[in-house]
Structure 1
Amino acid sequence: MMSALTSSPLRVAIIGAGQVADKVHASYYATRNDLQMVAVMDSRLEQAQAFAERHGIPAAYQDTRQLLQEAKPDIVSVCSPNRFHFEHVMAALEAGCHVMCEKPPAMTPQQADRMRLAARKANRVLAYDFHHRFASDAQLLRDAVMNGTFGEIYVTTAQALRRCGVPGWGVFTNKALQGGGPLIDIGIHMLDVAMYVLGFPTVKRVTAHSFQKIGTRKNSGQFGEWDPANYTVEDALFGTIEFCNGGILRLDTSFALNIREQSIMNVAFCGEKAGATLFPAHIYNDVDGELHTLFQRDVADDCRHLRSMEAFVRHVMGEPVMIADGEQGWVIQQLVAALYESAEKGESVTLC
């Protein structure tokens, strides 16, 4: 950790000059006087140079190790495609940097395991941008769980569904580079926030089914066009996670699914004393057949990315704030892998 009294600004480098690096990471770092963006790297040098010019960054690179050796950053944001998270995070940790990595942690649980152990050995902060858990709604429900408001929560339903929201940019339809489709892209977010609110209960068994029925037949949707001939990820995946405490978490996720709503991103919790929905936070129970509201927000907190980035930097500065750390990232990666494995094999996967 760094001392909060550090006099000179911490040096920040960004690996991957895409949309999330532009709109989230660089935009946040630019708001802080105690941070200085010194370098950016992308496999396409022209894109890195354009990114550097937009954000006033003095150096652009095409090679990660050259960036680390020459720019000597204290902090690195890894915003490269999923396929490269492992090598970029490991290189940054090896260079003595604190790391904020976009989700998912990696392509396999084995990689995520090595990443968490490397961070521990280097005594550096490794955080993942599971930003939905940083909404104040999530913290309110987490506190309610800890206070016993719900009693035993025995059914949780997490949904990350799009009617036709296949990303028409990047590598989101390329399984070799992305690792999968909606589960590893958007489903992982609702999975993480559900597990966070529940307190990361131990998982016993995972069962899942996946489908590819629409993405190879259509070629356009709300997020642009894609090539159906090169669509190699799932359209949708539906899974059930069984906990050792007897509860279950149902996860529904899709890029393309014939539902009424254009998009659903939410989690519902059912406990013996009360239930809740997450976005916006609403806690309720039944009184003589009528819905009784215990707590309700009118609008969900939309500052999630900001809070995630801020928590990471504060943690680097030595403050004991919550982050989505390497240990929890490893757990989430194991669940994603187990869901894909179950769907592929057509049988349950036991984790304990």
Structure 2
Amino acid sequence: MRTTNTSPLRVAIIGAGQVADTVHAAYYATRNDVQMVAVMDCHLPHAQAFAQRHAIPAAYQDVSQMLQEAKPDAVSVCSPNRFHFEHVMAALEAGCHVMCEKPPAMTPQQAGQMRDAARKAGKVLAYDFHHRFSRDAQLLRDAFTNGTLGEIYVTTAQALRRCGVPGWGVFTNKTLQGGGPLIDIGIHMLDAAMYVLGFPAVKRVTAHSFQRLGTQKNRGQFGEWDPTTYTVEDALFGTIEFNNGGILRLDTSFALNIREASVMNVTFCGEKAGGMLFPAHIYEDIDGDLHTLLQREEADDQRHLRSMEAFVRHIQGEPVMIADAEQGLVIQRLVAALYEAAEKGECVELC
């Protein structure tokens, strides 16, 4: 941890895409104690344009060259999912702390190696599961911890889009992405739910996935895509059973004939009260009437920035919560198990 060095934190960014632009570089630029020293992208003109927009002095096309020449203290990995493993491992080997976009990797085996490498190097490895950094998630987590909800036995996490197939990037390419809505947006609500619940031990998972619309349509909320190269699932529905007897139901889709354009939320049913995550609302029933115990008027929209802030503060030695390598591995295992259960059509034991 950087507890005594007062010089600016030297940061490099791998991947010059949208999230690197609007989240990582945008946040680093707000801090006087952070200096962006380099950016790398496999398309050098993208890296050069990115560097110009953010006043970054060096742009690279090769990760090893960037790490060797720029010598960053920390690295943001914002490359496509397939490359998270090699980019995180290279950064850790170079002695850097790492903030990696979700998912951690393509497989639990890779996520496990990343965790082990971070431990060996004594470096921070964090994942940008930013929804858990909302005020809403903290309120629900506190309510669960202090017993306001009682034992939670049914949790429902939803990350649904009616026709929200991303029309950019590699989101419809299973080889590069690892999957569709589950690994892209469902993973966010899964992490938020597991965070509130305190990451209970998992017994088994079951799941069903469908590919009915993405190969038949080519236009939606987020632009156009090529249905002939659409290789990910449209939707996946899973159930996670915990050792404590509770269940977590996960519904996620890029394309599904629902009424709403988008649903991104988690609900919790406890023995004493229930709760909804976005915006935070905790309620109970008294003689058939709903009574509110706590309610926020609108969901917190600063969660992305708080995730980035926690990463920097953790590097600087502050004992703040991050989505760490161990929890990232748990989430990766659950995603893999859900895909496996859907593919095999049978229960996958995890206990």
Q: TM-score, normalised by structure 2?
A: 1.00
Q: Which residue of 2 aligns with 1:227?
A: 226
**Equivalents in 1 of 2:126, 2:7: separation in Å?**
23
> Secondary structure at 2:110's aligned position in 1?
helix
Code of the aligned partner of 1:11: R
Does the residue aligned with 1:209 lie in a helix, a strand or coil?
Answer: strand
Report the equivalent of 1:302: 301
CA distances 1:34-93 after superposition (whole Å, capped 9, x unpaired): 010000000000000000000000000000000000000001000000000000000000
User: Which digits, 9 at most, give the CA deviation of each residue in 1:191-224, with x for residues without a partner?
Assistant: 0000000000000000000000000000000100
SS of structure 2 residue aligned to 1:89:
helix
Which ranges in structure 1 are unaligned for 5 or more consecutive residues? none
Partners of 1:297 and 1:34 lie apart in 2 by 33
Name the SS of the counterpart of 2:155 in structure 1.
strand
Equivalent-residue separation in structure 2 for 1:47 and 1:151 (angstroms): 51
* Superimposed CA distance per residue, residues 134-165 of structure 1 (whole angstroms, 9 cap, x where no aligned partner): 00100001001000011110000000000000
- Per-residue deviation at 1:6? 2.4
1:219-266 Cα offsets, whole Å, 9 max, x none, are 000100000000000000000000000000000000000000000000
Give the alignment's TM-score, normalised by structure 1.
Answer: 0.99
C-alpha separation in 1, matches of 2:139 and 2:121: 33
Q: 2:13 corresponds to which residue? A: 14
Amino acid at match of 2:113: R
Match of 1:2 in 2: 2
Alignment of 1:242-261 (within 5 A): 242-261=241-260
Q: Distance in 2 between matches of 1:198 and 1:8?
A: 39
Offset of 1:8 from its aligned partner? 1.3
Q: Which amino acid aligns with 1:326?
A: A
Deviation at 1:7, TM superposition (A): 2.0
Q: Which amino acid aligns with 2:196?
A: V
Look up the equivalent residue of 2:303 and give its one-letter code: R
Aligned counterparts, 1:129-148, within 5 A: 129-148=128-147
What is the letter of the counterpart of residue 343 of structure 2?
E
What do residues 284-317 of structure 1 show as CA deviations (whole Å, max 9, x unaligned)? 0100000011111110111010000000000000
1:156-180 per-residue CA deviation (whole Å, 9 max, x = no partner) reads 0000000000000000000000000
Equivalences for 1:1-352 in 2 at 5 Å?
1-3=1-3, 5-352=4-351
Structure 2 unmatched ranges of 5 or more: none
> Number of residues paired by the alignment?
351
Partner Cα distance (1:292, 1:75) in 2: 47
Identity of aligned residues (%): 83
How far apart, CA to CA, are the structure 1 residues paired with 2:9 and 2:127? 19
Q: Residue 327 of structure 2 aligns to which amino acid in structure 1?
A: Q
Measured in 1, the distance between the counterparts of 2:346 and 2:196 equals 28
CA distance in 2, matches of 1:129, 1:286: 36
Secondary structure in 2 matching 1:93: helix
Runs (4+) of structure 1 moved beyond 6 Å?
Answer: none
Shift of 1:10: 1.2
Q: Distance in 2 between matches of 1:35 and 1:304?
A: 20
| Matching residue's letter, 1:33 | N
Deviation at 1:331, TM superposition (A): 0.1
